[in-house]
Amino acid sequence: MDSSFFTKNPSGKLPVFQNGAHIIFDTIEMIQYIERIAVVSAGADENSFSNREVVEWMQKIQEWNPKFFTLSHIPEKYRLAVSKFIRRVVIARMAESPDLASAYHRKLKEAYETEDKLKNPEVLKRSKEHLIRLLEEVETKLSETSYLGGEEFSMADTMLIPVLARLVLLNLEDEYISSRPNIAEYWIMVQQRPSYKKVIGKYFNGWRRYKTLIKTWCFVRFRSLLRKF
């Protein structure tokens, strides 16, 4: 919510990738940009870039917006407390940076609209149905190949893994992962990857998830009590 971030991205949304003066907001564009740097640095040929099938999978995964699905599975007490905290932060930053008032106002409006949409059963239903369609398609694909893009790990997998990790974090593994044998087997396999352990497992595997969540909740509560927004 800092003004320095809003200057880079007036929407005030993550992710944002900056390399020098080059700033990217779209997840797929970021992945492809980093991939190009890695391929060129390694001296590999153009065949090393993600093929059309991989990109199509990336687009399918990105089309599902996890926002409302995720928030609807968070206990209301915590969700409302964090939502209120975020609104107060936005208001405080708006006062500090009047030149960015319009951007902060849009962010504040978005926060209120999110709360309204969470009260709409149809919005939540559409999000859940979209997720189920995506997982069914993934399940079918994984019955044919080890990974989404074939027999080798690809950039499509780097986008799918966080979706599965999110479901586990929400305690929905039995309903959405274990009930699909190919995805369940895939999930066990990808958790063994060093990159998973470093980026996700380090913070959310086993007891670590509680440490991460408690740390976050305490941060919000203490800042709210001290009115340090």
d(CA 28, CA 55): 8
Higher pLDDT, 129 or 220: 129
Q: What is the pLDDT of residues 17-33, one digit of tens each?
A: 999 888 999 999 999 99
* pLDDT bucket at 13, cuts 50 / 70 / 90: confident
> Which runs of E-coded beta strand occur in the chain?
17-19, 22-24
pLDDT at 40 over 90: no
User: Both ends of the chain: CA-CA distance in Å?
Assistant: 10
Confidence label for 229 from pLDDT (cuts 50, 70 and 90) = confident
Under the banding of pLDDT at 50, 70 and 90, the label for residue 39 is confident
Mean pLDDT score of the chain: 93
pLDDT value for 45: 74
pLDDT at residue number 228? 85
Percent of the chain with pLDDT over 90: 75
> What is d(CA 100, CA 3) in angstroms, rounded to the nearest whole number?
7
Q: What is the β-pairing status of strands 22-24 and 17-19?
A: antiparallel
**What's the rounded Cα separation, in Å, for the pair 210 and 25?**
30
- The whole-number pLDDT of residue 10 equals 82
Phi (first) and psi of residue 124, to 5 degrees: -70, -35
Please give the Cα distance from 96 to 101 (Å, whole number): 9
pTM above 0.75, yes or no: yes
Residue boundaries of the structural domains of the chain: 3-226
Please tell me the class of the 3-226 domain. Answer: mainly alpha
Give the span between the Cα atoms of 108 and 110, in whole angstroms. Answer: 5
51-94 per-position pLDDT tens digit: 999 999 999 999 999 999 999 999 999 999 999 999 999 999 99
Give me Rg for the CA atoms of the chain. 20
pLDDT tens, residue by residue, 137-184: 999 999 999 999 999 999 999 999 999 999 999 999 999 999 999 999
